[in-house]
Amino acid sequence: MEPVEINAGSYYLRQLRADDRIDDRPALLAAFADPAMQRALPGHAVRTTEDATGYIDACAAGWRDDRSYAWGVAEPTTGALIGEVLLDLGSAETAELTAWTHPDARRGGVATTAVGTVVRFGFGALGLTRVDATCGAGDVAAAALAERCGFSRDGDDDPDTLRWTRRG
């Protein structure tokens, strides 16, 4: 699938970029250097400009291969990257959601708006019937985001992980 841009009202959702017009790599480096991000997404290491380039390339490959869809959440007047929402397809009907917000853009409704928009796109345009989200047991912000976006606990938690589900 070709990357899809979505107008999310106060923000727009677009493919991550590193080109002559928009370079998301500095924002990715700043976001992934944040200790809260490192705790929430321990499997994602973006420490160098080369890592950021590889991350952007991997997200583009996900679109090409129809296996994952990543949207950069951008401020509409400057195009500045302030977050990301990713749907990683588990099957033709299910996806795992990942979302993060740049430290400077937290607590302003960015994630709630972006996640809600992407989940609706997943159900409507992609034909998903279920979207799952996972967070650490102590990640209060991620749990609150899941609740605000209509996810319910699925009951398959373990001591370290909370699992959330939303059905379309």
From first to last of its 168 residues, the chain has per-residue pLDDT tens of 999 999 999 999 999 999 999 999 999 999 999 988 888 877 778 999 999 999 999 999 999 999 999 999 999 999 999 999 999 999 889 999 999 999 888 888 999 999 999 999 999 999 999 999 998 888 889 999 999 999 999 776 678 888 999 999
Could you give the domains of the chain? 6-167 (3.40.630.30)
Neighbour count for residue 152 (Cβ, 10 Å): 11
Nearest to 10 by CA among 102, 84, 91, 110: 110
C-alpha–C-alpha distance, residues 96 and 87, integer Å: 6
Determine the pLDDT at residue 36: 85
Nearest to 166 by CA among 63, 113, 93: 93
127: left (phi over 0), alpha (psi -120 to 50) or beta: left
Q: How much is the pTM?
A: 0.93
Nearest to 118 by CA among 151, 140, 143: 151
Helix (DSSP H) and strand (DSSP E) numbers for the chain: 5, 8
Nearest to 95 by CA among 69, 57, 76, 72: 69
